[in-house]
Structure 1
């Protein structure tokens, strides 16, 4: 995989991880309730769930590339459309993250299992990966190597972002809960998603 392709993926993956979602809600809630150290188990759980999705998506894309170049191309264009649609939806979303501190104490194991289920049952993650991965894969290259690079990059970036959200929540929880602030954040990331989709479309024309 060329360095410039990987760097472009890093930028896109950062936007994906930063955009508010179920993993964000979980990280913020745990940060408010348990602090950063205890919440590390939950962050690990989120990454386990994400890694399972990555394996499933990677296996499917690899099989698709081997069978049909046309189908692979169609998936790439569907991915462009999805990124732009997601950006529009995110721009219109003004709902705040409901990060309510829990009153019951939970063990690290419970936090980990809960986080795994949160990501495993989140269809947006696997749909986004299906839309995203093909944009950065060279069908003529080593599929396994490329998917490994993209997968590891995704997990590392998401881990760091969730750690950042968790740490931030313990310090600035009341601001994160604000509808006005979250509305502004959503508009910023909505614009980024649309921009990523537009750039990918331009690169294919």
Structure 2
């Protein structure tokens, strides 16, 4: 029986947790969907999934081995990721007091056009610097790879499985945001969501900082 079949239950659980954990990508999907419509939200999902696949393949291709071998580089990745997440979390909490669109903190440094193409570009840039995606691809995925024998087939299958799980979840977020757009635009709702997202990002950043020790 192939190795990936043995690890499939645990891997699916890890993929679900990664997909459901709120972060910059979730804020981007919500912001683009509420502001620019469902098509822009789905375009953002497409850009995100290309990046997710890239991080997963990079981890399986051996970049994770390099980071494990180089403790300084590994710690640096965690520290940079922690700083980014904590900064985004603090900015999100602060923006809850302002009359901004939801997720504006996450997206104000990204392409600001309101077309699906702009949403796609913004999502690609966001996922390229997303610590959550990087940590999964570089540190979690390798734990599910065989310790001997050919690794590439298992990497390809697990990457495809993660892509499907993440895409289904993200498309669900966009469709839900499209239906609840008017509700999400309410000031009180937006402020509570911004604060909740900020608290989650800070907690994730602190967790990454602890892992860097």
TM category, shorter: 0.5 to 0.7
Give the C-alpha shift of residue 137 in structure 1: 2.1
What does residue range 1-205 of structure 1 map to in structure 2 within 5 Å?
Answer: 1=7, 3-4=9-10, 6-14=12-20, 15-16=22-23, 19-21=26-28, 23-31=29-37, 39=38, 41-61=39-59, 62-71=61-70, 73-74=74-75, 75-94=77-96, 95=98, 96-97=100-101, 114-122=115-123, 123-128=125-130, 129-138=133-142, 141=145, 142-169=154-181, 173=182, 175-199=183-207
Structure 2, unmatched stretches of 5+, are 1-6, 103-113, 146-153
Take 1:84 and 1:135, find their aligned partners in 2: how far apart are those partners? 20
Aligned length in residues: 179
- For structure 1, the residue ranges without an aligned partner over 5 or more in a row are 32-38, 99-112
Report the TM-score when normalising by structure 2. 0.63
Per-residue Cα deviation, 1:125-178 (whole angstroms, up to 9, x for no partner): 221133553343225714434433333322221111011000111xxx1x4334
Other structure's SS at 1:188 match: helix
Q: Offset at 1:24? A: 2.0
Are residues 140 and 159 of structure 1, via their aligned partners in 2, closer, same or farther at CA, if it must alter by over 3 Å?
closer
Distance 1:44 1:19, change over 3 A: closer
Contact map agreement 1:47 1:159 (CA 8 A) in 2: yes
In structure 1, C-alpha distance between the alignment counterparts of 2:142 and 2:200, rounded to whole Å:
24
CA distance in 2, matches of 1:76, 1:144: 25
How far is the alpha carbon of 1:188 from its aligned partner? 0.5
**Distance in 2 (alpha carbons) for counterparts of 1:196 and 1:8:** 16
SS in 2 for 1:138: helix
Give the CA RMSD over aligned residues.
Answer: 3.6
- Give SS of 1:7's match: helix
Please report the TM-score for the alignment, with normalisation by the length of structure 1.
0.65
